[in-house]
């Protein structure tokens, strides 16, 4: 093994100082070895130790010396293939991943078996630094433990990390969460984690976002719909999520993670300096961009946390991702408004569309901005939106109720059941009958119905046959000008006659047709619409108000 100690320190010790990325490198090696199972055993009951074992193809003694111990070896160019013997796209490229071990451990033992022959060796950080200067190249020979020992196992590799540079105890659940974010895990590649004697955990893709409440999801490219000429847009694949509530910063999940060959290459971000929109606090997910591994120049950072966005091909990718995010924000706002409206309607029992259909137009036009604020404002909590909508409906009733509120008090209790059942024809009929009864009461007349209406208000009508005598009612007698003088006689006569004719019209034009015809026929034919009925009830309220101020002659 030829290197300078500084190389290991810079590319291993300093770059990999926490557990998750180190274990992720070991798992990536297992994946490249065509393993179908990886076991990670965290031990801290006595001395801390991490054991990572797989059932991959393993290494021969020659492989160890010519491949594993060669720092900076480009596996893809050396072997002339991007594909493993098992058909997987190879992740490893720079030959630096093995240096990550020294980021958290000062002793590494490798046990590997191929064709029933096992080889094992130990590397110690202290031995590497024991002689020679840090900035000068030196040869280091690991301690050989076994050389081509016959094994009962055909193949596989186990790597043991000892002398762990960590004080706190291990946490399998936390490591499982972290590893789930490093990989897109295939069905034929199972990763298990176990802490001491606890039950092992199988890491699944769903674990990435298990602690987030997902509200809207997009499959890329299937659910993405915006015009774009980017030549690789169909090669950008993945799954994006908008959460129900803002993503907590501590999760480090805000933004889109990029993967190549099923492993992370760029931590979550938004690919833009302009991220002030509230939308970005809800967005997460992952995209696969495998084609970046095929660029002539390596654009993936050594620690696989970021990409070289200055590369010409990466500039194009970034522009495409920025346009995608702008489209996603628009689509998110529209879909979230629909979802929020449905939630509001369920929580309040108010069908917003139906409610607004029955609100007067001049009021309805001014409701747009308020309803939009309730359904589209991402910062407005559901509880506040619910209370606001309920309050709004209490103030602004649907038109029939709004109309009902302005009827004469005598009509309120009488016609309310018909307003509630939307039987406005019955409301008019009952209202006219009630009016006749009130006129009869005010005039002390023995006449009824049409004869009463005909003679009650107009003094110059012929007297009815004896013995029925109708005391006429005046709806103008008590009124004078504000200065105390009398109104013109003609003015009072016109109002009196007009009132009498209007009262007769209510009986003839509304009560009688409704009484003798089916309401459905009147409605469907358009001869009498529901609006006609509401207008009639408004006129009836006017007649009641006049009656309140009437006097006998």
The model's pLDDT over 266-293, given as tens digits with 9 standing for 90+, comes to: 999 999 877 678 899 999 999 999 999 9
Q: Compute the mean pLDDT over every residue in the chain, rounded to the nearest whole number.
A: 87
Residue bearing the bigger pLDDT, 362 or 159? 159
pLDDT at 518 over 70: yes
Are 385 and 340 in contact by the 8 Å Cβ rule? The answer is yes
For Cα atoms 343, 348, 350, give the angle at the middle one, nearest 5 degrees.
95
Tens digit of each residue's pLDDT (9 = 90 or more) over 326-360: 999 999 999 998 998 888 888 888 888 887 777 77
Q: What is the mean pLDDT of residues 56-76?
A: 83
Query: Which helix (H) or strand (E) segment is 370 a member of?
Result: helix 368-376
From 68, 74, 139, select the one nearest 108 (Cα to Cα): 68
How is 467-509 classified by DSSP, letter by letter?
A: T---PPEESSTT---TTSPPPPHHHHHHHHHHHHHHHHHIIII
Query: Which helix (H) or strand (E) segment is 312 a member of?
Result: helix 312-348
Task: Indicate the CATH number for domain 2-207.
Answer: 3.30.565.10
Cα 41 from Cα 457, distance rounded (Å): 101
From 149, 155, 148, 152, select the one nearest 53 (Cα to Cα): 155
* DSSP secondary structure letter of residue 142: P
Tens digit of each residue's pLDDT (9 = 90 or more) over 206-263: 999 999 999 999 999 999 999 999 999 999 999 999 999 999 998 999 999 999 999 9
Cα 69 from Cα 74, distance rounded (Å): 12
| Whole-model pTM over 0.85 | no
pLDDT at 442 over 80: yes
Are 490 and 497 in contact by the 8 Å Cβ rule? The answer is no
Neighbours of 437 (CB within 10 A): 12
Cα 164 from Cα 96, distance rounded (Å): 20
* Nearest 10 degrees: Cα torsion 404, 407, 412, 414: -100
Which residues, listed in sequence order, are joined to residue 327 by a DSSP beta bridge? none
Beta carbons within 8 Å of 143's beta carbon, 6+ residues apart = 121, 122, 123, 124, 127
Q: Where are the domains of the chain?
A: 2-207, 214-332, 334-402, 407-552
pLDDT at 127 over 90: no
Tens digit of each residue's pLDDT (9 = 90 or more) over 361-417: 777 888 888 888 888 776 777 788 888 888 887 777 666 777 888 899 999 999 999
Structure tokens at 53: 């074992």
Neighbours of 403 (CB within 10 A): 20
């Amino acid at each position: 093994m030829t290197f300078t100690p500084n190389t290991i320190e810079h590319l291993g010790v300093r770059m990999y100082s926490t557990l998750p990325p180190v274990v992720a490198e070991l798992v990536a090696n297992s994946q490249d070895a065509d393993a179908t199972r990886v076991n990670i055993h965290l031990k801290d009951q006595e001395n801390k130790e991490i054991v990572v074992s797989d059932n991959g193809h393993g290494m021969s003694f020659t492989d160890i010396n010519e491949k594993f111990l060669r720092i900076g070896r480009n596996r893809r160019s050396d072997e002339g293939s991007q594909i493993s013997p098992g058909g997987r796209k190879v992740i490893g490229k720079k030959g630096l991943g093995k240096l990550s071990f020294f980021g958290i451990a000062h002793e590494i033992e490798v046990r590997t078996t191929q064709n029933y022959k096992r080889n094992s060796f130990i590397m110690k950080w202290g031995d590497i630094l024991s002689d020679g200067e840090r900035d000068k190249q030196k040869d280091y020979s690991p301690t050989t433990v076994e050389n081509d020992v016959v094994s009962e196992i055909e193949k596989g590799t186990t790597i043991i990390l000892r002398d762990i540079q960590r004080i706190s105890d291990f946490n399998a659940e936390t490591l499982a969460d972290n590893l789930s974010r490093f990989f897109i895990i295939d069905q034929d590649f199972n990763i298990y984690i176990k802490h001491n004697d606890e039950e092992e955990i199988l890491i699944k893709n769903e674990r990435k976002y298990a602690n987030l409440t997902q509200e809207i999801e997009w499959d890329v490219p299937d659910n993405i719909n915006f015009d774009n000429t980017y030549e690789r847009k169909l090669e950008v694949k993945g799954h994006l999520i908008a959460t129900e509530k803002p993503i907590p910063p501590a999760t480090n999940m805000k933004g889109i993670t990029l993967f190549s060959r099923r492993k992370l290459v760029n931590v979550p971000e938004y690919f833009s300096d302009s991220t002030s929109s509230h939308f970005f606090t809800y967005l997460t997910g992952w995209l696969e961009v495998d084609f970046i591994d095929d660029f002539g120049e390596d654009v993936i950072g050594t620690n696989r946390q970021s990409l070289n966005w200055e590369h010409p091909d990466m500039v194009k990718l970034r522009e495409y991702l920025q346009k995608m995010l702008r489209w996603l924000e628009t689509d998110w706002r529209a879909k979230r408004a629909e979802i929020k409206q449905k939630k509001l309607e369920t929580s309040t029992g108010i069908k917003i569309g139906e409610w607004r259909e029955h609100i007067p137009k001049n009021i309805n036009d001014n409701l747009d901005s308020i309803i939009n604020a309730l359904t589209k404002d991402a910062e407005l909590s559901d509880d506040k939106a619910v209370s606001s909508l309920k309050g709004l409906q209490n103030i602004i009733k649907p038109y029939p109720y709004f109309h009902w509120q302005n009827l004469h008090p005598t009509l309120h209790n009488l016609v309310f059941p018909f307003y509630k059942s939307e039987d406005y024809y019955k409301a008019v009929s009952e209202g006219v009958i009630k009016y006749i009864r009130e006129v009869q009461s005010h005039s002390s007349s023995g006449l009824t119905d049409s004869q009463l209406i005909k003679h009650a208000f107009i003094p110059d009508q012929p007297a009815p046959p004896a013995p029925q005598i109708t005391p006429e009612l005046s709806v103008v007698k008590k009124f004078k000008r504000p200065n105390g003088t009398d109104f013109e006689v003609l003015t009072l006569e016109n109002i009196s006659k007009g009132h009498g004719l209007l009262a007769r019209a209510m009986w003839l034009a509304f009560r009688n047709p409704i009484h003798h015809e089916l309401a459905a026929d009147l409605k469907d034919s358009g001869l009498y619409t529901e609006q006609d009925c509401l207008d009639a009830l408004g006129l009836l309220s006017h007649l009641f108000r006049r009656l309140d101020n009437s006097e006998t002659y």
